[in-house]
Amino acid sequence: MTRFILQPRWIPWHLLCLVVTLVFVRMASWQWDVAHRQQDLDWQNAAYSVQWLVFIGFVWWFWYKVMADQRAVEAQRADEEEMVD
């Protein structure tokens, strides 16, 4: 799978996922700081900061599904081409 995901056509996809992850980490950090600015903990903003981390999980789950599905499609095409020959 490593050779598959390092193909040049996937590099923009990897970079997009990485940039989105960095933005979400920054948003979680900002939300956490806002939650702790007051004397009492602001639970709503604290929950939002955790929510950004969950969104990161969705980004990488989606990345994995796209990579796995595309690899399966290409393996199926290779098998079909092999049968034709």
pLDDT digits (tens, 9 = 90+) for 33-80: 999 998 889 999 999 999 999 999 999 999 999 999 998 888 888 888
Cβ–Cβ < 8 Å for 35, 42: yes
Task: Give the C-alpha separation, 8 to 23, whole Å.
Answer: 24
Q: What is the pLDDT of residue 85?
A: 65
pTM (two decimals): 0.80
Inform me whether the pLDDT recorded for 27 exceeds 90.
Answer: yes
Q: Which tokens belong to 18?
A: 């990485």
Domain range holding 31?
A: 9-84
* Residue 3 domain flag: no
Contact 23, 34 (CB under 8 A): no
Within-domain flag for 4: no
In a domain, 53, yes or no: yes
